[in-house]
Amino acid sequence: MTDKPLLRALKRQTVERPPFWFMRQAGRYMPEYRAVRADAGGFLDLCFNVDKAVEVTKQPLRAFGMDAAILFSDILVVPLGLGQKVWFEEGEGPRLEPIASVDDLEAYDPTALKQRLSPVFEVVSRLSKELAEEFEQTALIGFAGAPWTVATYMVEGRSSRNYENVKQWAYGDPASFGRLIDRLVESTIDYLSAQIEAGAEVVQLFDSWAGALDEAGQERWSFAPMAEIAQSLKQRYPHVPVIAFARQVGCNTLKLAKMGCFDALSLDHTVSLAFARDQLQPHVCLQGNLDPLMVVTGGDAMVRAADEIRQAWCDGPFIFNLSHGLIPPTPVAHVDELSRRLRQV
């Protein structure tokens, strides 16, 4: 049996057509998701309810036939697993009891993480079995937030505009900030290893806020920790591809591509198509990079932009995706039209 198309692309093998999936493909833009979410209680209750999390992971596959399923969970379950208080304010977003020093973290017991997050691994294991029955060409992606992005939430206590506290800590006291990052590197390796043991075939690291750092900061707090995680996973699981998503780091993406430990880079829409094709694709599989607002817009603009990406990148290893997650106002009909087009050879 040949590999699933997404796995073939990640191994730089030829594919009949570029595989596709969308970041945040499960979510509030889908009425089926909203129905399950309404019955689940809070967002974190949904993440830890195995039946419901499996169901919402599969909803977009049924509706649009993506080539990958991404585990339904959130990057903030790792701080929760470490013992930090995390909750979601309805209609607002995540809240955490912020940490101000490594001492706050020392109170947490890192060995409890796998136990606390055991429902997540059960979701992966159920998905692994159920995809084999219902969607046999669909690959299962596990994920985690990259240490820097997770640290922004742990220190700011919420989504942030200026990253005042976390950047002052990182720039002003790198030695102690490094201990926080090291702790997150270790936890993320454990967390992703358990997802792989449960059946994840690919893992993606989300560094959504890498672009908030300056160049030296990106190398030290975004790229190096992600590489450490990827290298450690590669030692244990050499056949599991690792995708890195360092958002809005511009041409510094080239440094990531040359690190040699990532199989693919997920690119945001500010990255030039020609630069990615000429400079990055010789090193890694490209994933991206349609602006999710194009999918909100729909029509000719969406189709044209999607075709441009496909034309630019289809001669090398390539997975079609967005530059960031689908957002709630996205019309389902637009996701449907885009998916139909992407399924054509």
Binding site for ligand 1CP (CB under 6 A): 23-28, 37, 43, 70, 72, 74-76, 93-94, 143, 145, 149, 159, 206, 208, 324-325
Beta bridge partners of 158: 95
If the CB atoms of residues 127 and 257 are measured against ligand 1CP, the closer one turns out to be: 127
Which of 71, 288, 325, 339 lies closest to 198 in space, CA to CA?
Answer: 71
Nearest CB to ligand 1CP, comparing residues 17 and 24: 24
Q: Which of 43, 50, 53 is nearest to 80 (CA)?
A: 43
Residue recorded with tokens 């590999």 = 3
- Least distance from ligand 1CP to the Cβ atom of residue 133, Å: 21
The Cα 183–Cα 102 span in angstroms is 10
CB of 70 to ligand 1CP, least distance (A): 4
Q: Pick between residue 43 and residue 275 the one whose CB is nearest to ligand 1CP.
A: 43
CA atoms of 155 and 87, how far apart (whole Å): 15
CB-CB neighbours of 235 under 10 Å = 8
> Residues near 22 by Cβ (< 8 Å), separated by ≥ 6?
60, 66, 295, 321, 322, 325, 326, 335
Q: Tell me how long the chain is.
A: 345
Q: Which is nearer to ligand 1CP, 209 or 313 (CB)?
A: 209
Q: Which residues 6+ apart lie within 8 Å of 79 measured at CB? A: 86, 96, 150, 153, 154
Classify residue 139 by its DSSP letter. E
- We find the least distance from the C-beta atom of residue 5 to ligand 1CP, in angstroms, to be 19
Residue showing tokens 């499960």: 26
The CB-of-13 to ligand 1CP minimum distance in angstroms stands at 25
3-state class of 123 per DSSP? Answer: helix
Please give the positions annotated as active site.
24, 28, 37, 74, 153
Q: With respect to ligand 1CP, which residue has the nearer C-beta, 27 or 288?
A: 27
From the list 55, 59, 56, 102, the residue with the least C-alpha distance to 82 is 102
DSSP strand pairing (202-207 vs 242-246):
parallel
- 3-state class of 229 per DSSP? helix
Nearer to ligand 1CP, 12 or 62 (CB): 62
Q: Which residues contact 231 (CB under 8 A, 6 or more apart)?
A: 261
